[in-house]
Chain A
Amino acid sequence: MRPVRTFALGTALAATLWAQQFQFNLDYLSSKASNSFDVSLNTSMLQFAARFLDTKDPDEAKVKKLIVGIEGIYIKSFEFKNPGGYAPADLEKVRTQLKAPEWSRIVGMKSGGESENIEVWARNEKGKVTGVAILASEPRQLTVANLVGNIDLESLADLGGHFGLPNLPKAPKKK
């Protein structure tokens, strides 16, 4: 019975790792964090969740439209009471997995006296974007995300603004 159970567990783990495009290995931070969010949603779970999204709700309708091209969402986010809850090496372990030629950093942002750092990486396969990685760190917050599939970044960013942050003014059209 034990080998069967081990095989089943191994298969499930392999399926998760296969779907996720890089490993987080940050579970040990959960015990240090005051708040944490950990989500692993594969294609079937996303399709299942989509059935419960209400198109009458504007936010849910947008999310329902967005997740059509997404094959998986994997996010770990930690909030710490005090700065120094995580080490820069924790993030570096994730970053080193994002290697060329598949991965390329499309944007890196530092703000708030360089205390806030956000990197967005895109995964290209045969000329198509097949995934996005987001590494975001603040003194008391660490977030790592992997969105697998065809992602409309602009719509997602707009949704982020709509959810709580100010929406951007529309960019002037180029003449």
Chain B
Amino acid sequence: MDWLEQELADALARKEPAAGFDGRVRARLHRGPRWLAAAAAVLVVVGGGEAWRQYRGELAKEQVMTAMRIAGSKLNRVQVQLKGTEQ
């Protein structure tokens, strides 16, 4: 066996993988692509933010409507009274 044959035999010889290699490959297969997880996280954050904004907006609207209702009803009472006095 000359030196070339020896080198080829060494290079092509069966080698055992490092310890835990099998487990790491299996784990990676189950994990799925990372971008998918990141995209899902972004969607959750953006969707949650929009839902929170919508909730706050509806709440603010209800507060404005109730405030106007209260202030308006008091002014209306005065207006009714004033008109009654005029007539």
Contact segment of B15-23, B28-36, B39-47, B76-84? B76-84
Instruction: Say whether B58 contacts A157, CB under 8 Å.
Output: no
For the complex, count residues of A whose C-beta is within 8 A of B.
46
Instruction: Say whether B75 contacts A134, CB under 8 Å.
Output: yes
Q: B48 at the A/B interface (Cβ < 8 Å)?
A: no
Cα A169 to Cα B79 in complex, Å, equals: 11
Given contacts A39-B67, A165-B80, 14 further A-B contacts (CB under 8 A): A37-B70, A48-B60, A49-B64, A60-B65, A111-B77, A145-B67, A147-B71, A157-B79, A159-B69, A160-B69, A161-B76, A163-B68, A165-B77, A166-B80
Q: A158 at the A/B interface (Cβ < 8 Å)?
A: yes
Residues of A close to B68: CB separation below 8 A: 63, 66-67, 73, 156, 159-160, 163
What residue in chain B is nearest A156 (Cβ atoms)?
A: B72
* Residue of A53, A59, A153 touching B75 (CB-CB under 8 A): A153
User: Which A132-172 residues sit within 8 Å CB-CB of chain B?
Assistant: 134, 136, 143, 145, 147, 153-154, 156-166, 168-169, 171
Given A41-B63, A46-B64, A164-B73, A52:B78 Cβ within 8 A: no
B51 to chain A minimum Cβ distance, whole angstroms, is 14
Q: Which of A48, A51, A160 has the most CB of B within 10 A?
A: A160
Residues of A close to B67: CB separation below 8 A: 39, 41, 73, 75, 145
Residues of B close to A66: CB separation below 8 A: 68
What residue in chain B is nearest A73 (Cβ atoms)?
A: B67
What residue in chain A is nearest B82 (Cβ atoms)?
A: A107
Q: B49 at the A/B interface (Cβ < 8 Å)?
A: no
Residues of A close to B69: CB separation below 8 A: 159-160, 163-164
Residues of B close to A75: CB separation below 8 A: 67, 70-71
Q: A120 at the A/B interface (Cβ < 8 Å)?
A: yes
Residues of B close to A130: CB separation below 8 A: none
User: Which A24-62 residues sit within 8 Å CB-CB of chain B?
Assistant: 37, 39, 41, 45-46, 48-53, 59-60
Cα A163 to Cα B68 in complex, Å, equals: 9
Residues of B close to A136: CB separation below 8 A: 74, 77
Instruction: Say whether B66 contacts A39, CB under 8 Å.
Output: yes
